[in-house]
Amino acid sequence: MTVIQNAGGKTYVVALAGRIDTITAHQVKSDILSAIDEHREVILDFGKVEYVSSAGLRVLLITHKHAQASGGRQTLRNISPEVMEVFAMTGFTDVLNIE
């Protein structure tokens, strides 16, 4: 898992690459929470994410709720059809902000 953070304009982009699974979930969660605490408006670019496990889904739910509680927003972009299918099957398309 690679995490590249880039401040651009009003929002802050966190570009993720690889797999979000049990091995990488803790670091991804830490990086996203830090970005939300510092910038409030965070975009997660999923353009290079190949796989999201249940641990990854848990991270996205935790960070989504954290953003909402702190008055911010977490938005997911550039999701592959395979990862979008996981979001759809688990009902996450109804919970997360997806563009």
Residue spans of the domains in the chain: they are 29-74+90-99
The pLDDT, as a whole number, for residue 10 is 66
**Average pLDDT score over the chain:** 92
In percent, the amount of the chain with pLDDT more than 90 equals: 83
The pLDDT, as a whole number, for residue 4 is 55
38-76 CB burial, b ≥16 within 10 A, e <16:
ebbbbbbbbeebeebbebbbebbeebbebbeeeebebbb
The pLDDT, as a whole number, for residue 11 is 73
How does pLDDT run across 52-70, given as a tens digit for each residue?
A: 999 999 999 999 999 999 9
What's the CA gap between 79 and 19, in Å, rounded? 13
The pLDDT, as a whole number, for residue 71 is 95
